[in-house]
Amino acid sequence: MLNVYNTLTRQKEEFHPIEPGKVRMYVCGMTVYDLCHIGHARMLAAFDVIYRWLKASGYDVNYVRNITDIEDKIIKRALERGITPDQLVAETIADMHQDAAALNLLPPTHEPRATHHVGGMIALIEQLIANGKAYPAPNGDVYYAVREFEGYGKLSGRTLDKLRAGERVEIDPNKRDPLDFVLWKAAKPGEPSWESPWGAGRPGWHIECSVMSCHHLGEHFDIHGGGEDLQFPHHENEIAQSEGAHGHKYVNYWLHNGFINVDGEKMSKSLGNFFTIRDVLQHFDGEVVRFFIVRSHYRSPVNYTDSILNDAKQGLTRLYTALRGLELPASTGIDWSNPYAARFKAAMDDDFSSSEAVAVLFDLAGEVNKTRDVQLARLMKDLAGVLGLLQREPEEFLKAGAGEGELTAEQIEALIQARRDARASKNWAESDRIRDELIAKGVVLEDNAQGTSWRRA
C-alpha cells in the first residue's frame, strides 16, 4: 500500500484515489520570465519521480503542471529587454523544455498556460463574489475576503489573528482587511489586459491555479504538489478560492518538496550563490544532476556544492560501470516478487523514498559486479528506469562530457593506441607516462583481458 505524507494533515496516510485505478495530480509549474534555477530542478525532478512511481504502480495518471505566462515579473523583464511579454514567454518556455529534456523529465499530461484560462478565472471570481467570499474595490481590483472563509490557514497552520499580529502587512485603502489578497488587478497603461465585469485588467497569481487545476482535473482531485515555499500564501489561497467557490473539499493530498541550499545557505542572487540549470549543465551531465536530486528524499532539504555534485557523478559512474560490457536480455517487466524489487517497491511505497530505492540499486550493482549476472543487471536497469536513471548505454555515459580544456574521445583513443604501441615495444616508461598524462586529464584506464577501456573520472 502506498503511503504519502500529507501536508494538510501533517502525517503519512494510505493513498486512496478518488476514482479507483486513476490519479489526478496538479503541480505548480514555472513563472516563465527567466531561466529555471537548480531549485526548480529539485521540484521538477521530485514530482517526475512521483509521477513515474504512480504509473509504475499501475495507475492511470492525469498529471497537470501549469505555466504562469502573465505576471509582474514577466512584464518587468520584457520591458527591461525591450521585447514583448509574448516574446519573452515563448523564449523562456523553449528554454524550460530544453532543461526538462536534459533532466530526463517525462512531459506532463497537460501543460496549461494561464493566459488561455482567463475566461475561467473571471467566472470563478464572479462565483466568489456571489458567495460573499470576494468583493470589487473602487480602484477596479477584486479581492478575496479571507475572514469570510472559515478554514483559512488549515494548510500552513497560520491563523488569521497570528498573521495579523505577526506580519507587517502593507496598508491598502482599497482592502476591507489588510490580509485580503487580490483576485483581479485593474489594468495599468501599457500592460497586457483583458475585459471583465470590473473593467480591463488581468488575473492575480493565486486564482490561475484554482482554475487550471479544476479545468483539467475537476473540482475535487487527488494530489496537489509544489515547493514547500508555496504552502503559504499560494496554496493556502488556492484552497480558500476553490472551496469558497465550490463549497466542498478541493484536494485530498498535499505534497511539498524541500529546498535546495547552496553551501548551507538559501540560494539567493543577492548572496551570489544563485545557479540556473544551464549554469550547472555546463559542468555536469544532466543525468548527474538528476541523480543528485533523486538520491535524496523529496521532502528533505538538499545541500548543493560542486563537491556534492562530483560525489553524485562518482555514484552514478559506479552504477553504469556495473552494467558495462554486459549484453542484457530484453526487458519483460519487473518481477516485484524478486527480493531486490520488493525492497525497491517498499521504499517507494513509503512516501516515494527514492533515497532508499537508490540504495537498492547500489546493492544490485555490487552483486552484478561480483556475478556478472545479466538477469540481475536487467533488473537493475529496469528499476533504475522507474527513477529515470541508467537508460543510456554505459559507454555513452562513461565517455561523455568533454568539458573546456579536456581531451576529446578521439584524442583519448589516440593516446591509448600510443600507450599500446609503447607496451608492445616494451617501452614501459613511455607507457606509464601516457597513463599518467591521461589520469591528469581526468581519464581512468582499465586494463583487462579484452584490452583497455576508459572512462572519465
CA distance 163 to 158: 7
Q: In this structure, is the dihedral angle defined by the CA atoms of residues 195, 197, 201 and 204, taken in order, positive or negative?
A: negative
The reply to whether 36 sits in an annotated binding site is no
CA distance 334 to 314: 27
The reply to whether 238 sits in an annotated binding site is yes
Task: Give yes or no for a contact between 181 and 144, defined as CB atoms under 8 angstroms apart.
Answer: yes
Q: Is 276 left (phi over 0), alpha (psi -120 to 50) or beta?
A: beta
DSSP 116: G
Task: Give yes or no for a contact between 392 and 399, defined as CB atoms under 8 angstroms apart.
Answer: no
Query: What Rg do the C-alpha atoms of the chain give, in angstroms?
Result: 26
Instruction: Tell me phi and psi for residue 150, to 5 degrees.
Output: -65, -30
What DSSP line would sit under 240-253, residue for residue?
Answer: HHHHHHHSS--EEE
* Segment holding 428, helix H or strand E: helix 428-440
The reply to whether 234 sits in an annotated binding site is yes
The reply to whether 243 sits in an annotated binding site is no
The reply to whether 209 sits in an annotated binding site is yes
Task: Give yes or no for a contact between 218 and 25, defined as CB atoms under 8 angstroms apart.
Answer: no
Residue partners of 163: CB distance under 8 A and separation at least 6 = 153, 169, 179
Residue 301, all three cell numbers: 532539504
124-159: burial string, b at 16+ Cβ within 10 Å, e else:
bbbbbbeeebbbbbeebbbbbbbebbeebbbbbebe
Instruction: Tell me phi and psi for residue 278, to 5 degrees.
Output: -60, -40
Task: Give the 3-state secondary structure of residue 257.
Answer: strand
Residues marked as binding?
28, 209, 234, 238, 269
Residues marked as binding for Zn(2+)?
28, 209, 234, 238
Residues marked as binding for ATP?
269
